[in-house]
Amino acid sequence: MSRSRSCWSLFVAVCLVGSGVATVAAAPPEAAPRALPRPDFHFEGKVGKTYLQSDPPQFPKPVAAPAGAPNVVLILLDDTGFGQYATFGGGVPSPTMDRLAAEGLRYNRFHTTALCSPTRAALITGRNHHSAATGVITEAATGYDGYTCVLPKSCGTVGEVLRQNGYATAWIGKNHNTPAWETSAVGPFDRWANGLGFDYFYGFNGGDMNQWNPVLYENRNLVPRDPDPDYHLTEDLADRAIEWTRRVTDIAPDKPFFLYVAPGANHAPHHAPREWIDRFKGKFDGGWDAYRAETFARQKKLGIVPANAELTVRSEGLPAWDTLSDGQKKVAARMMEAFAGIAAHVDHHMGRIVDAVKAMPGGENTIFIYIAGDNGASAEGGLDGSLNENLFFNGVPESWEMALEHIDEIGGPKWFNHFPCA
């Protein structure tokens, strides 16, 4: 796999649009304005001394989406590599992604910026990430054009555009597009999700989050800790997404919605219920060299890469698997099992959202967009892997021996684990 492909993301799209036979000619829908917001309403009739001497009153009409406008569900996974999910030849089962790929289109050259905040800024604004002032993650912002991470007012988001054209809008999950210094409970809030065109927000601000004990906000309000000992963030986000779409369609069944779901998975920490991790026990004992070759062969079979493509040589920075000690192999395999667990787990819960939307009235008129990664697989675990990814960010070295001592706890609430990588 070429080095440049590590910056690629995988993209699955499916359109489920109902059809029918028109029996009468319909009036053409009002054209969407070329600029937003629309001009303020102004009464153009005659106003006399009394209502009897005035033209009939007129109120501004609520903006309505064009008849038949589809719902849109946009799912964006985090830190996912080109060869990790089975839909694109990887070793992690992805039945939800498989199903959407079979119903729609699968893209294998969908480019990202290779960083969280820039990719997300480009995605929600439709602009180059530098034009959206997000040339780097928000925590590393600098005071130069293109790098302040302060979204310009000129960069309207897809949420704002759709909201001003009659859509209900929601953002569920990760928000890595608010300047880091504006993410406290005192704001300012104009660059939180609600200020960027989304009627509803439930999720977290920042690059990553503890899956067992997250710090969450509902709109601008801090969410109390969930006392459920089996709580997991991915499941919670799926529940909230389903609840919101049901509420919107119950109250305003003729109003289309735009649902943006950005789970914390598959960013570290690779936290997953133990039963999901244990499903992959022994699956990666063959090591990364064997996994590369197996994945490449599957990608050829699926047509993800050309049949005459050649596998690149292993990166010089990554040692051959057979040169590792037994302890190193054990740690690396278990950390990959934890990653596979969270990756399979999130695809399952994204499937719950897809199924719930399809089952709703009008669900057949929905566009699903499932993006497998805002960038390639993360390299933040280092060659030995990490029990705590935050050590990497602070330049504190780790050793695989430490992880070996706690190998049975990897993926649980005690650690902020990340697999080895180069």
Instruction: Enter the DSSP assignment of 92.
Output: B
Q: Is residue 56 part of a domain?
A: no
Q: Is residue 232 part of a domain?
A: yes
Q: Is residue 402 part of a domain?
A: yes
List the end-to-end C-alpha distance of the chain, in Å, as a whole number. 14
Strand partners, 260: 74, 171
**Tokens for 175?**
């928000």
Total of domains in the chain: 1
**Tokens for 104?**
């729609």
Widest distance between CA atoms in the chain: 93
Q: Among residues 344, 400, 411, 406, which one has the least CA distance to residue 77? A: 344
Q: Among residues 165, 178, 186, 320, which one has the least CA distance to residue 262? A: 178
| Calculated CA dihedral for residues 143, 147, 150, 152, nearest 10 degrees | 110
- Cβ(372)–Cβ(295) below 8 Å: no
Q: In whole angstroms, what is the distance from residue 116 CA to residue 97 CA?
A: 21
**Tokens for 409?**
């706890």
User: Which SS3 state, helix, strand or coil, does residue 259 take?
Assistant: strand
Q: Among residues 372, 386, 395, 373, which one has the least CA distance to residue 419? A: 386
Q: In whole angstroms, what is the distance from residue 146 CA to residue 157 CA?
A: 17
Per the structure, the complete domain to which residue 163 belongs is given by 3-16+65-409
Instruction: Please give the helix or strand (H or E) that residue 74 lies within, else none.
Output: strand 71-76
Q: Is residue 324 part of a domain?
A: yes
Q: Is residue 44 part of a domain?
A: no
Gyration radius of the chain's alpha carbons: 24
Q: Is residue 52 part of a domain?
A: no
pLDDT tens track, the chain, 422 positions: 333 333 445 666 654 433 333 333 344 456 778 889 999 999 999 999 999 999 999 999 999 999 999 999 999 999 999 999 999 999 999 999 999 999 999 998 888 899 999 999 999 999 999 999 999 999 999 999 999 999 999 999 999 999 999 999 999 999 999 999 999 989 999 999 999 999 999 999 999 999 999 999 999 999 999 999 999 999 999 999 999 999 999 999 999 999 999 999 999 999 999 999 999 999 999 999 999 999 999 999 999 999 999 999 998 889 999 999 999 999 999 999 999 999 999 999 999 999 999 999 999 999 999 999 999 999 899 899 999 988 888 888 889 999 999 999 999 999 999 999 87
Q: In whole angstroms, what is the distance from residue 163 CA to residue 168 CA?
A: 6
Q: Is residue 29 part of a domain?
A: no
The CATH number given to whatever domain includes residue 78 is: 3.40.720.10
pLDDT value at residue 393: 81
| β-pairing verdict for 105-111 and 8-16 | antiparallel
**Tokens for 84?**
């990790």
Q: Is residue 50 part of a domain?
A: no
Backbone angles phi, psi at 416, to 5 degrees: -115, 60
